[in-house]
Amino acid sequence: MYKKLTLAVITCLLLLSHTGVLAESAIDIMTKSLSAMGSAKTMTYHFFAQERMNDGKYSKSDVEFKVMASPLKIYAYAHLPQSAQLRFDPSVSPKVSVKKGLSLNLSPTSSLLMKGVHNPITRAGFGQIKKILEMSMAQRKEQDYAEFCKLAGSVNYDGKECYKIEILDPDYKIVDFTVAPSQNTVWSIGNARAISEYKIKELNDIDDEVKPGQKIKIPSSYAKKTTLYIDKTTYLPLYHKLEDEKGIYEIYEFRNFKLGVSLKSNDFEFE
């Protein structure tokens, strides 16, 4: 009888596991993912992006990245939307070095570097998406996060088995905002609230500068819906789809992703 009972228990556990009852919850996965993003030190990847511009059309990016998280160093070989090599090393300069026929040193958010993109190359890696997700969790502090964060199954992405996570923000909306005394640029607002600076500019038809006390429109959070493909081995989000009140706002893809690669100083030099 004991053997029969044991076999019955094992069979039951296998069935539960197969049906997903014993699988990790979305919250467990997200907790591990946030930890993994904070721990990722060196990486290389081929980055593809689709970003909706203010004319309603999507701009495409195709960039090869080498990233060292600490101390921060970034090398980017961009093919789209512009062809150029870029290097960022804040220990040397707050500006981005650019090789595009000739060599330039530009502010990361200069109009030349931001042409056709939502985010500067200084946000390479997972720091920005980690900040967005942490802000989303903080806004739900007194609520059951499991009501908004769902495990929607598994997908094979770029040859890797991934969890598909969907995060909904039912309270997402465009709200009135008064610029604080300490804020004089759209970037200061976006950084503080983990929302899209490009979206703020689009909503208000403004450039970078704002004035304390100025009334503007901003999104209450970064996205109405976020879809992530999280690698089951590394727990890093290799695919991000962010949607707003109009539909798809951004899609970011990390292909041929390699973590923990050995990067030396000459890996960040221009070719």
pLDDT for 18 beyond 50: no
Summarize pLDDT for 202-242 with one digit per residue, the tens: 999 998 899 999 999 999 999 999 999 999 999 999 999 99
What is this structure's pTM? Answer: 0.88
Confirm if 174 and 218 have CB atoms less than 8 A apart. yes
Question: For residue 245, what pLDDT is reported?
Answer: 95
Mean of pLDDT values over 243-247: 97
Q: What is the mean pLDDT of residues 240-246?
A: 97
Opening angle at CA 241, ends 240 and 245, nearest 5: 145
The C-alpha atoms of residue 67 and residue 76 are separated, in whole angstroms, by 9
pLDDT reading at 22 higher than 50: no
Element spanning 49, H or E:
strand 42-52
Which two three-digit tokens encode residue 88?
Answer: 């960022």
* Average confidence score pLDDT of the chain: 90
pLDDT digits (tens, 9 = 90+) for 61-106: 999 999 999 899 999 999 999 999 999 999 999 999 999 888 899 9
Fold of 26-172+221-266: outer membrane lipoprotein receptor (LolB), chain A (2.50.20)
Residues 6+ positions from 47 with CB-CB distance below 8 Å = 61, 62, 63, 64, 65, 124, 252, 253, 254, 255
Cβ pair 117, 59 in contact under 8 A: yes
**CA 72/CA 94 separation, integer angstroms:** 11
Please say whether the beta carbons of 144 and 26 come within 8 A: no
